[in-house]
Amino acid sequence: AFNFNAGPAAIPLVVLERAQQEFVDFRNSGMSIMEMSHRGAIYESVHNETESLLQKLLNIPAGYKVLFLQGGASTQFAMIPMNLLGAGQVASYVLTGSWADKAYKEAKLIGETHIAASSEADKFMRIPSLNEIEVPDNAAYLHVTSNETIEGTQFQEYPSTGHVPLIADLSSDILCRPLDVSKFGMIYAGAQKNLGPSGVTVVIAREDLISSSPKTIPTMLRYDTHFKNNSLYNTPPSFAIYMVNQVLKWIDEQGGLTAVEKNNREKANLIYNTIDHSNGFYLGCAQPESRSIMNLTFRLQSEELEKKFIKESEQAGFVGLKGHRSVGGLRASAYNAVPYESCKALADFMAEFQRQNG
Ligand code: PLP
């Protein structure tokens, strides 16, 4: 299948095959990794190696900790203000689309909020430019959504926020390109797009932000619980973390994030070029300077034609090209694991569909 699902999304075939080989008997233990104690030496080595691999790939500086949490990125929407928004402070958000809006609405349930910039007037089809973003002095943090999975927009550069920690939801673009982690107080991502299967959420945070949470927060929702216990306070999603470990090794084998970015740009260009050279048959949704290299959104002239496109694409072996139900249209999610060949096949299919229906 040419899998363009938005999430859970494709996992590299070689990773699935390796996991299959180790599935029943992990490292000659006579057991599957998912049957092992999370306090045992074998699991712990996988757990710690997964953190080291992330440190290596993202070049994470000293003073940052990687956490493996549950509850998805959606739980981070609440944990961030619960842990970090103090009295007399505001939680500041850049509103770029559906996911930023969800994060912002969770923060509103917890305390005072502020909108640092918004592209709602442009139907969220662009990322606000850096000089539109205003961060108040009493902001506890500035939250951005690095890549809007539904609208298909992506930050090309991130704001500098001075003493205010910058927090980013990278659920749909973590590891798609190199990242200067030192610019951020915290980044987080549900694993199920670029990191592995659903069930684990990766948080990478400056240690000073997560080492002492307000005492009123329930234990599992406190960052300091997980920081002090190396994400082993309770039973972690061990199998999902093992799969993330395998995906990270695969990224390393590809040549790291510089090589991954080059491949992702070539993949995205195939499809954006097809859109841009279609004389208006295909219409890109996002404004060109805000286009995502992970989620490529486009439309056809009518919903009827879009339905036909989806039907015929499915018959041709393409999966997941229907746009999100809230915005309609079409969306190709070309995460790291989607091969160049799948994008080439899609570009060819699009050209042929235009030839027949244009
Ligand atoms: N943030 C972004 C940018 C997403 O794309 C998603 C899911 O698609 C989420 C948050 C929610 O993640 P989860 O399902 O892990 O809660």
Q: CATH assignment of 14-253, given 3.20.19.10, 3.40.50.300, 3.40.640.10, 3.10.180.10?
A: 3.40.640.10
Confidence of residue 355 (pLDDT cuts 50, 70, 90): very high
Q: Is residue 51 within 8 Å of residue 101, measured between CB atoms?
A: no
Closest ligand 1 atom to 192 CA: 15
Closest ligand 1 atom to 150 CA: 5
Tell me the pLDDT tens digit for each residue of 216-255. Answer: 999 999 999 999 999 999 999 999 999 999 999 999 999 9
**What is the DSSP annotation of 196-216?**
SSTT-EEEEEEHHHHS---TT
The pLDDT assigned to 56 comes to 98
Q: In this structure, which residue's CA is closest to atom 12 in ligand 1?
A: 73
286 three-state secondary structure: coil
Tell me the pLDDT tens digit for each residue of 84-105. Answer: 999 999 999 999 999 999 999 9
Q: In this structure, which residue's CA is closest to atom 14 in ligand 1?
A: 72
The pLDDT assigned to 111 comes to 98
Whole-model pTM?
A: 0.98
| Mean predicted lDDT score pLDDT of the chain | 98
Calculate mean pLDDT across residues 30-43: 97
Alpha-carbon dihedral 296, 297, 302, 308, rounded to 10 degrees: 50
Provide the CB-side half-sphere exposure for 168 (13 A, CA). Answer: 23
ipTM > 0.85 (yes/no):
yes
Q: Can you give the residue ranges of every domain in the chain?
A: 14-253, 255-357
Contact 173 CB / ligand 1 (< 6 Å): no
Contact 190 CB / ligand 1 (< 6 Å): yes
Tell me the pLDDT tens digit for each residue of 134-181. Answer: 999 999 999 999 999 999 999 999 999 999 999 999 999 999 999 999
Its CATH architecture, for the domain 255-357, is Alpha-Beta Complex (3.90)
Query: What percent of the chain shows pLDDT beyond 70?
Result: 100
Q: In this structure, which residue's CA is closest to atom 3 in ligand 1?
A: 171
The pLDDT assigned to 141 comes to 98
User: Of 4, 1, 3, nearest to 296 (Cα)?
Assistant: 4
The pLDDT assigned to 7 comes to 94
Tell me the pLDDT tens digit for each residue of 107-139. Answer: 999 999 999 999 999 999 999 999 999 999 999
The pLDDT assigned to 349 comes to 98
d(CA 358, ligand 1 centre) in Å = 36
Query: What percent of the chain shows pLDDT beyond 90?
Result: 99
193 annotated active-site: yes
The pLDDT assigned to 119 comes to 98
Contact 172 CB / ligand 1 (< 6 Å): yes
The pLDDT assigned to 49 comes to 98
The pLDDT assigned to 250 comes to 98
The pLDDT assigned to 247 comes to 98
The pLDDT assigned to 295 comes to 98
Confidence of residue 205 (pLDDT cuts 50, 70, 90): very high
Long-range contacts of 250-256 (CB under 8 A, 24+ apart): 250/12, 250/14, 250/15, 251/57, 251/175, 251/336, 252/53, 252/56, 252/57, 256/57
Calculate mean pLDDT across residues 29-34: 97
Q: Is residue 104 within 8 Å of residue 148, measured between CB atoms?
A: no
Alpha-carbon dihedral 29, 34, 39, 43, rounded to 10 degrees: 60
The pLDDT assigned to 58 comes to 98
6 three-state secondary structure: coil
